[in-house]
């Protein structure tokens, strides 16, 4: 019997106009590329939420020499500390809450219209990471 992992997707993607926006990483997942030139390369699949409208944009960072510029721009835009020439680890859980400026474009592919990240902007003021707050337990609600 087939199984399926529910992903909570909307039937119709929310679209925003092309322009510059602040986005936040809300999900991140490691994977492997199947692209012709990048097959076998590590990937980071990011689910981003545009802050004003709440629109969702998906982005995949591919760890291949032909895509290095995009990862450098992501690191600079989101304010990840890195020194030129030094390796860093981008662990998916550590990316949740990162925020940065992006230029969004509208792209048509296979008869579907989607928002895509044209570039991570590195010339804007850095935006602070969103810190997720853990709700404190109220001792008065504990039954014993």
Number of domain units in the chain: 1
Instruction: Report d(CA 88, CA 99) in Å as an integer.
Output: 18
Q: Is residue 4 part of a domain?
A: no
In degrees to the nearest 10, what's the CA dihedral of 66, 68, 73, 74? 110
Q: Which residues of 24-54 are buried (b: 16+ CB within 10 A; e: fewer)?
A: bbeebeeeebeeeebeebebbebbbbbeeee
Q: Is residue 9 part of a domain?
A: no
Q: Is residue 135 part of a domain?
A: no
pLDDT at site 8: 74
Q: Is residue 142 part of a domain?
A: no
pLDDT at site 139: 56
Q: Is residue 88 part of a domain?
A: yes
Residue range(s) defining the domain that contains residue 122? 19-129
**pTM (predicted TM-score):** 0.80
Q: Count CB-CB contacts under 10 A for residue 90.
A: 18
| Residue 99 contacts residue 23 (beta carbons within 8 Å) | yes
Compute the mean pLDDT over every residue in the chain, rounded to the nearest whole number. 89
**Residue 124's pLDDT band (boundaries 50, 70, 90)?**
very high
Q: Is residue 91 part of a domain?
A: yes
- Is residue 43 over pLDDT 90? yes
Q: Which of residues 86 and 109 earns the better pLDDT score?
A: 86
Q: Is residue 66 part of a domain?
A: yes
Q: Is residue 3 part of a domain?
A: no
- Is residue 6 over pLDDT 90? no
């Amino acid at each position: 019997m087939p199984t399926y992992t529910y992903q909570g997707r909307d039937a119709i993607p929310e679209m925003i106009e092309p322009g510059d926006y602040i986005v936040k990483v809300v999900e991140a997942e490691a994977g492997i590329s199947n692209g012709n030139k990048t097959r076998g390369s590590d990937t980071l699949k990011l689910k981003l939420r545009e802050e004003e409208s709440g629109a969702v944009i998906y982005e995949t960072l591919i760890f291949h020499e032909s895509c290095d510029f995009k990862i450098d721009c992501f690191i600079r835009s989101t304010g990840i500390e890195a020194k030129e020439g030094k390796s860093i680890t981008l662990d998916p859980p550590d990316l949740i809450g990162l925020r940065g400026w992006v230029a969004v474009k509208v792209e048509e592919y296979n008869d579907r219209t989607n928002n895509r990240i044209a570039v991570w902007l590195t010339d804007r003021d850095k935006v602070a990471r969103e810190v997720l707050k853990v709700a404190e337990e109220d001792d008065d609600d504990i039954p014993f």
